[in-house]
Structure 1
Amino acid sequence: MDRTSPTLAWRKSSKSAQQDNCMEAADPPGGGRAVRDRKDPNGPVLRFASSDWQSFIGGIKGGAFDTLGY
């Protein structure tokens, strides 16, 4: 995936306010979700299938990651 592709509209969560220590997400052509570190826009991009991304979001909402100690 071309990280600098003009077809990717990167956005960050509205909950992160003015902070730069967050991730950005984009909806790549063909579906799924792409994520990257906002501080390193030319760095690696992770791409997830739609079903995997939905499982991840479901885990967040269900508290699956609440005990990771961060």
Structure 2
Amino acid sequence: MLHGFQFRKSRFSNAECECVEIATNVPDVVAIRDSKIPNGPIIRVSSAPWDAFREALVTGTFKR
């Protein structure tokens, strides 16, 4: 378990809490976890790739 991350749920999460949570409070790191398993695995990525991923989703340029 990593300490120091402050996770938040997406504003798009549904009533069943089926969503991911992210933490962006640690410099240069974004942590991602399944909201249903708060003590489960955490994916950590650096901020730059996360920002590029988010931008691609928002602009519709994300390619599968």
Shorter chain as normaliser: what TM range? Answer: 0.7 to 0.9
TM alignment of 1:1-70, pairs within 5 A: 2-3=1-2, 5=3, 7-27=4-24, 29-65=26-62
Structure 1 unpaired stretches of 5+: none
Structure 2: segments with no counterpart, 5+ residues: none
Q: TM-score, normalised by structure 1?
A: 0.73
Which structure features the higher share of strand residues? 2
Shift of 1:19: 3.5
Count of residue correspondences: 64
Structure 1 segments, 4+ long, off by >4 Å, are none
